Chains A and B, each alone.
Chain A
Amino acid sequence: VRPLALYLRSRRVPAAVAAAVAAVAVLWPLAEAADDPTARAMLGLLAVVAGTVAAGPGLAGADADLDRTAAVAWPPRRAAHLVAACAAAARIVAATALTGHQLAAAGRVARDAVGMSGLVALGATTLGAGRAWLVPLTWTLVAMTLVAALPPSSAATPQEVLTWMLQPADATPATATAAVLGAAGLLAYAALGARP
């Protein structure tokens, strides 16, 4: 257990968990108070985004060169780390369902967590772990403006792909996009690791 605990501490997991829990703790009452369903969905999405981007800095160790010298196979470990981070972020948001008043529907939480984790991983491999948050947050915010600008009836596939995180849980193109992003992020991060 001790190596695992040390690993988790070196990857700033306590701070990430604290941030994710704090985000849910703040957003949940706000969502309960909001009677607008769009705003509720948005707050639920933001809770998932906060949880996944909080894991971003932990995608790299304190010393990339030192990690590289270690005689361990990093790719499976990196993949496991990302999957665990994604699952934890989803669990923390989904745990609100235990009280009977869920912050967001389980299907959406799972889809958003997978897609956002993929984006964080892609951000870490391209921009570096410290800047990984920029990718999922920028996409989410641009999608928000896009949805606001489009008429609500228009649900063509390219738009559903661009605004996947804001689509209802049963939108197939959105789910597919999230799955592709998750898989791409997982593969890229497992193979390459975070950019130093």
Chain B
Amino acid sequence: MTARILRLELRRSAAAWLALLSTLTLVSYDEVGEGLGSIAGLQRGELLSWIPLALGVGAWQARRDRRSRTEELVATTPLPRWRRVLPTAAALGIGAATGSLLVFAGLTVYGVAVGAYLPVFSVPFAVVTAVYLVAAVWAGLAVGRVLHFRLAPPLLVVAGTVAMIMVALSLDDEGGGTGPSPGTRLLEPSQSNLGPFVRITWPVIGAQALWAVGLAAAALILVTASRSARLAAIVPVALALAAALPLLPRFAHEGLVLDPGAVALVCTPDVPRVCVTRAHHRALADMREPGREALAIMAAKLPQAPTSVVELFSSPGGPLDVPPQTDTIGTWLMNDDTGRVAVPARDVTLSLLIGAGTQPCENAVISWGPVYDTARLVAAAWLLDEEPPSPSSLDPNWWGWLPDRTQTLSAYQRLRALPAAEQRARVAALREAELACDGRDRLGILIGPGGTG
């Protein structure tokens, strides 16, 4: 009998609509190529929008009997309240969870098809996301039970959105005067800072799962319990908190760790080595040729040239802590949503040669301004043996930082006007200064009067 009612409710309630609405989120996924961890994190972040919407759908569903003017009639049946509303709540919960999990499953299939990195933790992570959504739709039912005026569902959506934004804002104090966020921040439903190289620790996933289940149970009690028994909703929340808190780290950023599987290097089998991370392994095919070209150019033109190209990555919460290496060109990938490199091979070669194959020093652009980038770009242009490119000829998404062309062109011509051996010595000196990150004026090294020192 109950199964029959549940089937009826699945067809008659807003459950299917809710599942359908969730699939709308598919338009906003653009990082499938970065692996499933990023996708699961993105989906969690979207709870910022989906929790309010689920609240509204729940509140809308709660008004059904009143809308059809059968509220009193239904209330006269001898069934206790929980038996009357449980099938509806179950149907809505199934709708919410199905929609969210279907989106994840669809993205997983796509990820498998394109050969993306698929870390295991993303599966329980996505399940927790679905449980949060179920809790939200039940909370909507609970609110709709109390507020039955016509405008309650839309106003609840607005209020829910405002609440989610305010909570996110009030907790968003990274880098503020208050120090790192406490670990409890990981219990904020839409909180996720998962990048391609980051995974969330198992205890934190466990804590989030307990918290989500506790919230869902509390909402279900509010929906089904009689007026006096509703206070019992505090119990699952308190229990979930008590169980989850010991699992959380002291600071939120400690819950996110570098995923060794994602940052493991995938290299070309033969020398010279060109390596990318496992998460970005699809980009290797696009990096091989430009990488080798850049290495060959450096070997031909500079002393002590690097012998391999390696993708860089930063660890969560911390700055990049890869020391500059003389035998390696470190690079950040310019990749698109499928994980392939988004720019032509020529641009990749140019980007590898910027600063004569070095990464910019920390805060150098801030302290020196565009002159710093000018010097680095001129070094690349000299290595390529062509005039520095005009920023307007390149994709502004990647090259928006390029300095003004008149600056780079005149610096390039002044470098070119020097004797050949001097040119080579000056670019080599720039490379040394960049690797050491010393305080010398880079443009002065390249074209200044006494820049060879």
A contacts, CB < 8 Å to B: 12, 15-16, 19, 23, 26-27, 30, 34, 36, 39, 42-43, 46, 49-50, 53-54, 56-57, 130-131, 133-134, 137-138, 141-142, 144-146, 148-151, 153-154, 162
Cβ-based interface call for B268 (8 A) = no
Report the minimum CB–CB distance from A144 to chain B (whole Å): 5
Query: Which residues in A have their C-beta under 8 angstroms from that of B153?
Result: 133
Nearest 4 interchain pairs by C-beta: A133-B154, A141-B49, A53-B154, A149-B28
Q: Which B168-201 residues have C-beta < 8 A from chain A?
A: 169
CA A53 to CA B157, docked complex, whole Å: 11
A-B contact count (CB 8 A): 91
Pick the interface stretch among B87-95, B107-115, B158-166, B214-222: B158-166
Contact at A149–B29, with CB atoms within 8 Å?
yes
- Quick one: which of B49, B166, B396 has the most chain A CB within 10 A? B49
Contact at A141–B397, with CB atoms within 8 Å?
no
Report the minimum CB–CB distance from A150 to chain B (whole Å): 7
Query: Which residues in B have their C-beta under 8 angstroms from that of A150?
Result: 28, 30
Q: Which B132-158 residues have C-beta < 8 A from chain A?
A: 149-151, 153-155, 157-158
Contact at A15–B154, with CB atoms within 8 Å?
no
Query: Which residues in A have their C-beta under 8 angstroms from that of B24?
Result: 138, 142
CA A148 to CA B431, docked complex, whole Å: 38
- Quick one: which of A30, A34, A46, A149 has the most chain B CB within 10 A? A149
CA A57 to CA B149, docked complex, whole Å: 11
Contact at B48–A144, with CB atoms within 8 Å?
yes
Q: 20 A–B contact pairs at CB < 8 A? A: A12-B150, A15-B149, A19-B155, A30-B162, A39-B165, A42-B165, A50-B158, A56-B154, A134-B56, A137-B53, A141-B50, A141-B157, A142-B27, A145-B25, A145-B28, A148-B28, A148-B45, A149-B29, A149-B31, A150-B28
- Quick one: which of A43, A134, A138, A141 has the most chain B CB within 10 A? A141
CA A49 to CA B193, docked complex, whole Å: 29
Q: Beyond A142-B24, A144-B48, A150-B30, is A57–B151 a contact (Cβ under 8 Å)?
A: yes
Q: Which of A23, A39, A151 is within 8 Å of B169, CB to CB? A: A39
CA A26 to CA B165, docked complex, whole Å: 14
Cβ-based interface call for B52 (8 A) = yes
Report the minimum CB–CB distance from B398 to chain A (whole Å): 10
CA A42 to CA B163, docked complex, whole Å: 12
Contact at B166–A137, with CB atoms within 8 Å?
no
Report the minimum CB–CB distance from B74 to chain A (whole Å): 19
B172's nearest neighbour on chain A, judged by CB, is: A36
Query: Which residues in A have their C-beta under 8 angstroms from that of B396?
Result: 153
Q: Which of A30, A53, A131, A153 is within 8 Å of B400, CB to CB? A: A153
Cβ-based interface call for B21 (8 A) = yes
Q: Which secondary structure dominates where chain B touches chain A?
A: helix
Query: Which residues in A have their C-beta under 8 angstroms from that of B42?
Result: 149
* Mask of B253-266 contacts with A, CB within 8 angstroms, 1/0: 00000000000000
Contact at B158–A23, with CB atoms within 8 Å?
yes
Contact at A130–B49, with CB atoms within 8 Å?
no
CA A148 to CA B31, docked complex, whole Å: 13
A34's nearest neighbour on chain B, judged by CB, is: B169
Contact at A133–B162, with CB atoms within 8 Å?
no
B51's nearest neighbour on chain A, judged by CB, is: A141
A129's nearest neighbour on chain B, judged by CB, is: B150
CA A34 to CA B154, docked complex, whole Å: 23
Query: Which residues in A have their C-beta under 8 angstroms from that of B162?
Result: 26-27, 30, 43, 46
Report the minimum CB–CB distance from B6 to chain A (whole Å): 24
CA A133 to CA B25, docked complex, whole Å: 19
* Mask of B23-66 contacts with A, CB within 8 angstroms, 1/0: 01101111100000000001001101110110010001000000
Q: Beyond A145-B48, A145-B49, is A50–B21 a contact (Cβ under 8 Å)?
A: no
- Quick one: which of B29, B31, B53, B154 has the most chain A CB within 10 A? B154
A35's nearest neighbour on chain B, judged by CB, is: B169
Contact at B397–A154, with CB atoms within 8 Å?
yes
Contact at B158–A141, with CB atoms within 8 Å?
no
Cβ-based interface call for B83 (8 A) = no
- Quick one: which of B25, B46, B150 has the most chain A CB within 10 A? B150
User: A56-B154, A133-B56 known; 15 other A-B pairs, CB under 8 Å?
Assistant: A30-B162, A50-B155, A50-B158, A53-B151, A53-B154, A54-B151, A54-B154, A133-B154, A137-B154, A141-B53, A142-B28, A146-B28, A148-B28, A150-B30, A153-B400
